[in-house]
Amino acid sequence: TQFFGGVPGETVFSSYAIAACSALIVAAIAITLSVTRTAGRRAVFIFYISVVMYLFVTYFFDIQLRTPVAPGSSAVNTTVMTPLNPFLALEVLLRSNTYVPNSFVGETVGWSKRAWFGHPISVFCWGCALISVSLMLFSTLRLRVIGAKVGTVPWYRKVLGLGARGATERPPRSVGNNPIVWREAHSRGKTLPAILGRWSFVVVGVAIALVMLILYHRSVMTTMTLRDALATVLSAEVVIITLIALNMSATSVSREREDGSLDIILTTPIQPGPYLWGKLRGLIQFLVPMLLVPIITTSIFAIYILFNGFGRTGGITIAPTMSNVSSVGPLPFMVPELAIAITFVLPSFIAACVIVGLDQSIKSKGTIKSVIAAAGWVIVIAGALSICLFPLAPNLGPISPIAVNLLPINLVFSAVRPEEFLGTAVEHESYRVTLIVGAVVTSALYLLFVYAYLGSIKRTFMMNVRKLAGTN
């Protein structure tokens, strides 16, 4: 394309270098996780959840730290986050006129600062290479000591109610009327990494919300910055919960097929209906603490808005910047009804993701294939809806608050930036009520979808299981 005025050859090869270094460090981290956690599937899943969070957080902080190259200029300098994110490094190449490395002309700075801010692509590539080599050396040494400490129960496992690693005996447990529900809701979360990962998400999520609120109340954060931070945090939480739901549901049956336990379960009197309902209910019960995080986050900020910021200096509103709603007065940094709307939409959306994952788990031979298939379906459908709804919703008038409820992320952005994503609907006083009505309707549609899908899976369960019987 260089001959036709397209991308220069240097940019193309630099992009290849960024991609290669990203793949190198991803592989090194994946190997390190599998070595330190000694559980391949869980390590891989924790890894890509961490990658999503890392990319969200670094990109958000980069946006907040950007400063113009010169007063009044639309071009901005790279930040301390640029060499830490491959997408930011690519942005330096693809938006070279508006995202510019700092040249430090006429300034005396150290070589490390000059390299970090002036040559972010080189720093990213060399950093990936050095970190990858270090991780490989660590993994090699770590591999030699795995399994050295066996037979004893560490104090932290006793605190969490866990026995010794690899123990063959345990106290009896009450499993209720449907043992499948108990198995999905409790047995998955009875390993140390699962317990720490699950509750760390809850603690960190609520802590981030409180820190943002304190910083905003003390005027350390502006209203616009809080809007961006809130949208980023809530979107990241929704994405992570969705990925966890898909991974768990897509491996729930295929994992049993691989380890042979499905054949044993099928010899019991349990029927497809209770078995599948137990899977669905148990998985959602397991996810309840995580589902509460965005609900608690939005509730904290909704209460803060309803009490008018407890007298915050500067207020809690911001004037709309969109020309099509210039007649609307100042709006709060978040529509407080989001706390109610997301309580309806998010759990039902996750239930729909779980039922899709269950279907793929039944039809797929292995766990990897089922996870890829389930994630692919959800990503394609959700992506198509987002692409259609984001530009369409502002033009739907009073019913736009109903349309944005179809996806939790669309709902989050519409409640944080209503003048941008709801358009002229904010000119009507009833748009907040319409947002809640849309959430209830969307939740009912998702639950109807889950009910119908569950019935379809139940009818074809035995046929699909027999078709893959004996495979692993």
pLDDT at 199: 83
pLDDT at 346: 93
**200 & 125 share domain:** no
Domain-embedded: residue 170: no
Question: Which pTM does this prediction carry?
Answer: 0.69
**262 & 308 share domain:** yes
Domain-embedded: residue 162: no
Q: Which residue reads 């999503």 in tokens?
A: 52
Show which of 146, 165, 188 is a domain's final residue. 146
Give the number of other Cβ atoms within 10 Å of residue 417's Cβ.
Answer: 22
**295 & 365 share domain:** yes
Write the CA distances from 77 to 17, 82, 107, integer angstroms.
22, 10, 15
**212 & 270 share domain:** yes
Domain-embedded: residue 166: no
Residue 2 has pLDDT above 50, yes or no: no
**100 & 195 share domain:** no
Residue 3 has pLDDT above 50, yes or no: no
Residue 330 has pLDDT above 50, yes or no: yes
**256 & 381 share domain:** yes
pLDDT at 170: 58
pLDDT at 297: 94
**193 & 325 share domain:** yes
| Least trusted range by pLDDT, from 46-60, 269-283, 284-298, 451-465 | 46-60
Domain-embedded: residue 349: yes
**44 & 128 share domain:** yes
Q: What does the block give as tokens for 137?
A: 């050396």
Domain-embedded: residue 460: yes
**242 & 339 share domain:** yes
pLDDT at 182: 73
pLDDT digits (tens, 9 = 90+) for 207-244: 999 999 999 888 888 888 888 899 999 999 999 999 98
Residues whose CB falls within 8 Å of the CB of residue 382, separated by 6 or more in sequence, listed in order: 407, 409
Say what percent of the chain tops pLDDT 90.
19
Domain-embedded: residue 167: no
| Least trusted range by pLDDT, from 47-56, 75-84, 173-182, 449-458 | 173-182
Give the pLDDT mean for 143-151: 59
pLDDT-derived band of residue 159, with 50, 70 and 90 as boundaries?
A: low
What is the rounded average pLDDT for all residues in the chain?
A: 80
Q: Which of the given ranges, 32-46, 92-106, 128-142, has the highest pLDDT on average?
A: 128-142
pLDDT at 66: 85
pLDDT digits (tens, 9 = 90+) for 247-272: 888 888 887 777 777 777 777 888 88
**273 & 231 share domain:** yes
Write the CA distances from 231 to 101, 332, 407, integer angstroms.
28, 14, 14
**382 & 262 share domain:** yes
pLDDT digits (tens, 9 = 90+) for 334-345: 888 889 999 999
Number of domains, the chain: 2
CA dist 261 and 360 (Å) reads 18
Domain range for 311 is: 179-467
pLDDT at 326: 56
Domain-embedded: residue 279: yes
pLDDT at 1: 43
pLDDT at 354: 92
Q: How far is CA 341 from the centre of its chain?
A: 19
231 and 209 in contact (C-beta within 8 Å)?
Answer: no
Say what percent of the chain tops pLDDT 70.
80
160 and 192 in contact (C-beta within 8 Å)?
Answer: yes
Domain-embedded: residue 204: yes
**372 & 444 share domain:** yes
